[in-house]
Amino acid sequence: MAKQEINTDRVTSAATKLNTANSNINTAFGTLQNKAKQLDSDWNSAAGGIAQTTMYQLFKNSEARSAVLQNYINLLEQLVNPLYIETEAVNTKLADKFK
């Protein structure tokens, strides 16, 4: 059986980078949303209404994207790293008993 190993430092680094990227994307979408709200009263046409609907759907989808990404970050930070470290500690203790 091939040895399987997790580099916990790299998992932590990846989670940090993903968190930063998620925050940056959320900030950019927040800025766009504020600009869009400023334009709401100026769009008084069918094309404007369609553009608004599409834009607000994009913002809604971004919230879902952010939630999924945050859930993945939480999985890495709260389950993958801690459980791997705990499992390795238990395995090391068990292996030490056979030395």
Reading the block at residue 81, the tokens are 């790293």
Q: Please state, in angstroms and rounded to a whole number, the distance separating the CA atoms of residues 29 and 37.
A: 12
Q: Where do the domains of the chain lie?
A: 9-96
Q: Where is pLDDT greater, at 16 or 50?
A: 16
Comparison of pLDDT for 55 and 17, the residue scoring more:
17
Distance CA 46, CA 64 (A): 27
* DSSP conformational letter for 41: G
What is the tens place of the pLDDT at every residue in 24-52?
999 999 999 998 888 877 777 887 788 88
